[in-house]
Chains A and B, each alone.
Chain A
Amino acid sequence: MPVYILSVYQTKFGELWNSSLEDLIDQTIDNIFKNSPCHKSQINTLFLSNMLGQSTDNQGHLASYASQKIGNIPAYKVESACASAGAAINLAYNYLNSGVSKTALVIGVEKMTDIASSSISNYLVQAGSQKKEGRYGVTFPALYALITRAYKQKYGLTRDQLSSVAVKNHFHGSLNEKAHFRNKITLEMVNNSPLVADPLRLLDCSPITDGAAAAILTTDKSLVKKITNPKITLLTSTIATDTLALQDRSSFTSLKSAKLASQKAYKLTKLSPSDIDFLELHDCFTINEIISLEDLGFYPPGAGKYAAQKGQTYLNGPLPVNTSGGLKACGHPVGASGLKQLIEIYLQLKGLAGLRQLKNPKIGLTHNIGGSGATCVINILSNKN
């Protein structure tokens, strides 16, 4: 049965010092119902995605916290590192498809800027293997730097090709009022930014961000009737996993979970990459946008590095990627990013994306990675009814 996106809401992403973890959840729930045809009493199930609350705020059990504002409904917290929100959407999609409930609220939240960056860096390593990586001083930029070095050795890669991804996503972010960073940047700024984990520089990395996002998904015909056209359907939601530690993979230049999840999504929807009009990719680091374009079948291996450099993935190009600004410029509150991706696709398909609106998009795809590729969630949305 078709799963429809009924309503969405995203807080501003950024350094939200006036808001606590709980405040962000409260604001998101209050705001999503303001303009929704759905009343709180019509929500049957709640999924809340969050990765770091137990470390940053010593607060677990957040799904029950969120459900206080809805009612005594089933509520589940989902944690799959940076793919937590993607996994929560995936669970909601399957839950609705199974017929267990008709309407689900999915909320993603993260509060990252209250504590020192070295502590956040330490907590983010929980997304990798503590035994095989964290114990030795591995950071997340380091894992993607290891991938970058291997990619460069295998296919060749220039500094400007990496930097072009960040420049493009900051340009898109400059058009998004919800983005963490709205400043445009140049190749020189990326190329001369401080090294974080060689060869990755500061402006190759997505930022530490606070924020929350939410969507209401439904199969309830009485609610679907109330949706203004075009109605947005979640055609499919797929998930695949891989080894937790990067060292245990057969390849360092491709993420198997992304390949498996996308291939399954294409099969279930009978679509191919050529049918997809635009993408929200998990550009946690510039290298990952390049590799993801290859893993999802949009470019052959080794060719994804040309996409941003040649302007092909700009919003006026043949394959717009990360019109929200991506994780790089829109920001990366890890538990909320997968929902922000879904919301960007929704806004574009509804024609509500403002200055960054694409011309008549029909089908969009989100790609949400957890860790260094241990989880990948793919969602495909359409406005064809």
Chain B
Amino acid sequence: MYSPPNLWRLQSENKNLLGLKGKILTYTTIYTASTGFENQTPYTLAIAKLENNQMITTQVVNPKNIKINAPCQVVIRRLKTPDQDEIIDYGPKLELL
């Protein structure tokens, strides 16, 4: 569980990432998830290199035609499914272009 200040620090990065373009370096589709992600399976997750040379590991929102070197951009989405007493964590995900 993230504390509110921890989430605030993490989410303050979102504005710097939103809209950045990049390309997929490697990817996988997860069928067995850890706590908080079970109801999202199967979900696809990739490592991408962004146009500012930053690397990112996150979920792909439209993975149907994913392949290595596919172009993508950062969007902001809800991440983990929160518990009843948790704040919703919004963060970067990847959208294939």
Binding site for B on A (CB under 8 A): 117-119, 121-122, 125, 131-139, 141-142, 145-150, 153, 194-200, 245-248, 252
Contacts and interface: CB of A to CB of B under 8 A. Distances in A.
28 contacts: A118-B38, A121-B33, A122-B34, A132-B56, A132-B57, A135-B10, A135-B91, A136-B58, A136-B91, A137-B37, A138-B57, A139-B30, A141-B32, A145-B30, A146-B26, A146-B27, A146-B47, A148-B28, A149-B68, A150-B25, A150-B68, A195-B31, A196-B31, A197-B28, A198-B29, A246-B47, A247-B47, A247-B56
Contact of B33 (A118, A145, A148): A118
The main secondary structure of chain A at its interface with chain B is helix
B34 A137 contact: yes
Residue among B28, B46, B47, B58 with the most chain A CB within 10 A?
A: B28
Interface in B4-63: 10, 25-38, 40, 43, 45-47, 55-59
The B interface, classified by DSSP as helix, strand, loop or mixed, is strand
A136 B68 contact: no
- Chain A to chain B: the 6 pairs with minimum beta-carbon distance, closest first: A145-B28, A247-B55, A121-B34, A137-B37, A122-B34, A122-B35
A160 to B, nearest CB: 20
A201 to B, nearest CB: 9
Interface of B: 10, 25-38, 40, 43, 45-47, 55-59, 68, 79-80, 89, 91, 93
Given A118-B33, A195-B31, A197-B31, A133 B26 contact: no
Given A137-B40, A252-B26, A247 B57 contact: yes
A228 B27 CA distance: 52
A146 B27 CA distance: 5
Contacts of A199: 28
Nearest to B32: A196
A137 B79 contact: yes
A245 B80 CA distance: 19
A136 B25 contact: no
